[in-house]
Structure 1
Amino acid sequence: MSKIFAGVIITTLALYGLSPMDASAAVKAQTVAYTVDNEKFTGYLTYDDAYSGKRPGIIVVHEWWGHDAYARKRAEMLAKLGYTALALDMYGTGKLASHPKDAKSFMMAATKSVGQMKSRFLAAYDLLKKHNTVEKSKMAAIGYCFGGNVAINMALAGVDLNAAVAFHSTLTQWVKKTPKDLKTKIRIFNGADDPFLQKPTVAAFESVMQASGADYKHVYYPGVVHSFTNPEATEKGKKFKLPLAYDAKADEDSWKQTTELFRKIFNSVR
């Protein structure tokens, strides 16, 4: 059985290269340090301190590069919408890839077993759920690339999530058991021209969704490739000769649909 311990460390945004937030928004941010199976992990928690009531908690799962400024930015965006968000760490403190080979190595290590993957996810999930700003019955997860796969698989693994949203996900299914009555709402946003998205994988995943009776929607964007939500994707694609490219319209539309979903299921007002 995995042993999970948690603690909180507050640090400055500048340390992580993040721009200062609008003071009027009263958004607070802090790093959170926790341990899973004797390994250290560092997440990033943020919320709007101007609002005193409890609100939904949303987990943000990073791309295969690791826990970075992009994942933290998405957490901040959710905080400004009235949620408490935690950008978790699936790899371990300091494990941020600068090359695809390292990213693949980190990803393979993190997903070597469903049990380990779930333990790492639940460590952050439990931290967020126990935060004094969070309504425990209102939890969701979003993820990008590898992170989207994690969010979906955690729903399939039985983690209590009202919604799981995946952006440019390859739909890799590590959890093989199909739930008979999946309560989590599943939303997938992908580029129609993403070469990482294989038709057999999509077909297999859609069969799982149908068998589980899930509230499921898969949106495709014509002419769009992998990593379309990340403004740094195009540069990385050129650098490593990978089919990565930012697409502003797809980014904006997928985010709009995601926030509309959250407003609907959580009765949010922002």
Structure 2
Amino acid sequence: MNNLFPRLILWTLAGSLLSVCLSAQAELQTREIDYQVDGETFTGYLAYDDAHSGTRPGVLIVHEWWGHGEYVRQRAEMLAKLGYAAFALDMYGSDKYAEHPSQANEFMQAVMSDKEAAKARFTEALSVLREQPMVAPDDIAALGYCFGGAVVLNMARAGVDLDGVVSYHGMLAADSPAQPGDVKAAVRVFNGEADPMVPAQQVADFEAEMRQADVDYELVNYAGAQHGFTNPEATELGRQFELPLSYDASADADSWHKTQQFLEDLFR
């Protein structure tokens, strides 16, 4: 008994030390991934938490019209901390990040004017995410902000194999409206009711389109919220360039909370 007690203390201390070491080793992992589409290089950003063992659902994130920058990378890291493998893709090409609205519009129009090219860029990023060893390839959702919101909605309309898509302050108009049976993804839209870029008629037309195509969808219209309401930098950018952009902390928090619930339900 006299020898056993010190041993028990040593075993307990050793176990505690091992637990601390394992916790220290398990952390958020991030890295850039370059990939090719039609001979052009694109750079995405992968984030996951290696404290989670085995595979987990993947989430694609599509950037605002400015381009792939720190904002979508932060969102990728937020998703990784929730237990997902997140890949912030690139729709413009490596190092194409706009410093002025005119340049952002140029980048955006180059993508939106060629639907097949846009789809190729999105689906290649989807393939990159699915190929990651920590990702359950059949469990994939996509989130999009501003321009990215329109992208994920159009990918859902085009029948891309996704479990769900979420649009935040994205354009809702469709060049090719959803048809019954085509949309595989559940659709969630978070919109600013005061966003002049998405007028009330566009919202009404979108909801009619979703109902006609029998899509599993929900739309939340935040009273008083303007374009860019999820991005803390939106208000300053709006002032700088005289654009109707404004951050709304309440709408941001609520839409993120609802997104978390949506993803949990989607992959339950």
Using structure 1 for the length normalisation, give the TM-score.
Answer: 0.88
Match of 1:134? Answer: 135
RMSD: 1.5
**Does 2:226 align with 1:262?**
no
Distance 1:71 1:193 in 2: 24
SS of structure 2 residue aligned to 1:229:
coil
Counterpart contact for 1:181–1:213, Cα < 8 Å? no
State yes or no: 1:238 paired with 2:243: no
Distance 1:111 1:86 in 2: 21
User: Within 2, Cα distance between the matches of 1:174 and 1:113?
Assistant: 12
Structure 1 residues 228, 24: CA separation in 2 closer, same or farther (over 3 Å shift)?
farther
CA distance in 2, matches of 1:89, 1:169: 17
Cα drift, residue 25 of structure 1: 5.9
For residues 240 and 84 of structure 2, what CA distance do their matches in structure 1 show? 35
User: Within 1, Cα distance between the matches of 2:242 and 2:265?
Assistant: 40
**2:250 aligned partner:** 249
Structure 1: which amino acid aligns with 2:267? F
How far does the alpha carbon of each residue in 1:59-96 deviate from its partner, in whole angstroms, 9 at most, with x for none?
00000000000010000000000000000000001110
Task: Provide the residue aligned with 1:123 in structure 2.
Answer: 124
Range with greater deviation from structure 2 (22-31 or 188-197): 22-31
Code of the aligned partner of 1:138: D
Q: Which runs of 5+ in 2 are unaligned?
A: 1-22
The CA distance in 2 between the partners of 1:111 and 1:23, in whole Å, is: 44
Indicate if the aligned counterparts of 2:157 and 2:182 stay in contact, CA closer than 8 A: no
Letter of the 1:38 partner, please give it.
G
Correspondence for 1:68:
69
Q: 1:148-177 CA deviation, whole Å, 9 max, x = no partner?
A: 000111011111111100001121324345
Change (3 A) 1:119 1:57: same
* 8 A contact 2:159–2:184 mirrored in 1: no
Q: 2 CA distance for matches of 1:171 and 1:241?
A: 23
Q: Is the 8 A contact 1:57 1:85 kept in 2?
A: yes
CA distance in 1, matches of 2:24, 2:221: 37
1:166 aligned partner: 167
The whole-number CA distance in structure 1 between the counterparts of 2:63 and 2:209 is 24
* 1:260 match: secondary structure: helix
Paired with 2:67 and 2:246, the residues of 1 have a C-alpha distance of 18
Q: What TM-score results when the alignment is normalised by the length of structure 2? A: 0.88
What corresponds to 1:215 in structure 2? 216
User: How has the CA–CA distance of structure 1 residues 25 and 235 changed in structure 2, closer, same or farther, with 3 Å as cutoff?
Assistant: farther
The number of residue pairs the alignment matches comes to 246
Percent identity for Structure 1 against Structure 2: 50
Q: CA deviation at 1:206?
A: 1.7
Q: Following the alignment from structure 1 to structure 2, what is the Cα–Cα distance between the partners of residues 23 and 150?
A: 38
Partner of 1:7: none
Instruction: For structure 1, list consecutive stretches of 5 or more residues without a partner in the other structure.
Output: 1-21
Q: Partners of 2:198 and 2:126 in 1: how far apart?
A: 28
Q: Tell me, what secondary structure is at the counterpart of 1:141? A: strand
Structure 2 SS opposite 1:110: helix
Q: After TM superposition, give the deviation of residue 110 of structure 1 in Å.
A: 1.1
Q: Verify the 8 A CA contact 1:148 1:167 in the aligned structure 2.
A: yes
Q: CA deviation at 1:50?
A: 1.5
C-alpha separation in 1, matches of 2:238 and 2:138: 39
Counterpart in the other structure of 2:33: 32
Aligned letter for 2:194? D
Bigger Rg over Cα: 2
In the superposition, relative to structure 1, how do residues 44 and 209 fare at CA in structure 2: closer, same or farther (>3 Å)?
same
